[in-house]
Homo-oligomer: A and B are copies of this chain.
Amino acid sequence: MHVNRISIPPNHPRAKSLHTREALVDGYRRGLVVAEGLIAHGRGEAYDYLIGECTTKTAQRAIKAAAAMLLLSRHPVISVNGNAAALCPGAIVELAKATGAAIEINLFYRTEERERAIKAELETHGAENVLGVGSRASATIPELQSERRRVDPDGIYSADTVFVPLEDGDRTEALVKMGKKVITIDLNPLSRTAKAAHITIVDNIVRAMPALAEAAHQLNGSKSLKRIVDGFDNKKNLRESLKIIRGVI
């Protein structure tokens, strides 16, 4: 690395975004994140700017529906990539515990070294049984070419609901085709992932993941879970997110 660290003034108008960026670069240095993941994060930064860098009411509705869907599922799995592990490992583990979801590592740029680094990071934050590492990812998602096709038979492969924050369009579509319920976090409401998923949270993962864990705690034991899920309209919700972006532009 060829970087002089600079300090971010606390009164900088975009201090929070800059700190998040530094957390990701730190994850890169620790081998959790790949260079392409930094670029993908930058895309997210641009869309976050366009929705006002806050959790909108539209996103809050999707978060509530997602928490309800995870609580209703028989075998929910949270699919974790490098960026997610670098940005909010604690909230991922908290969400898994609040919903009984399994955690599975699934990487586009897959190496066992990186899988192990991500597993260790999640375990530091309290994860107990991290799926998908190395030879555990022995099942295959049909029609998918990338390394993301390899999944754990005890995890994503047999899941009824898969939560795929920061996903690519190909795999989201493939998981839907397999008959799974898919929840995603995607700041671009026009992306293939956003459109293909059943519930799309148009929000920054650093805000949405803790909010989702909190919502799961609050809804645990609620009798209205099915009503919340059934009342959620993803297409309508995406249209509303687009409206918010249009307001900024």
A residues with a Cβ closer than 8 A to B are 1-4, 6, 21, 24-25, 28-29, 31, 34-36, 38-47, 108-111, 113-114, 117, 146-147, 188, 190, 242, 245-246, 249
Cα-based distance from A25 to B47 in the complex (angstroms) = 22
Taking CB atoms, residues of chain B closer than 8 Å to A24 are 39
- Cβ-defined partner of A42 (8 Å) among B2, B4, B28, B42: B42
Can you name the residue of chain B whose Cβ is closest to the Cβ of A2? Answer: B114
A2-B113, A41-B42 known; 9 new pairs, CB 8 Å cut-off, are A1-B34, A2-B31, A4-B109, A4-B111, A21-B39, A24-B39, A38-B38, A42-B46, A249-B249
Cα-based distance from A35 to B28 in the complex (angstroms) = 8
Cα-based distance from A43 to B38 in the complex (angstroms) = 10
Can you name the residue of chain B whose Cβ is closest to the Cβ of A26? Answer: B35
Cα-based distance from A246 to B25 in the complex (angstroms) = 32
Cα-based distance from A19 to B195 in the complex (angstroms) = 25
Cα-based distance from A25 to B40 in the complex (angstroms) = 12
Contact A109 B2 (CB under 8 A): yes
Please give the distance in Å from A229's CB to the nearest CB on chain B.
Answer: 28
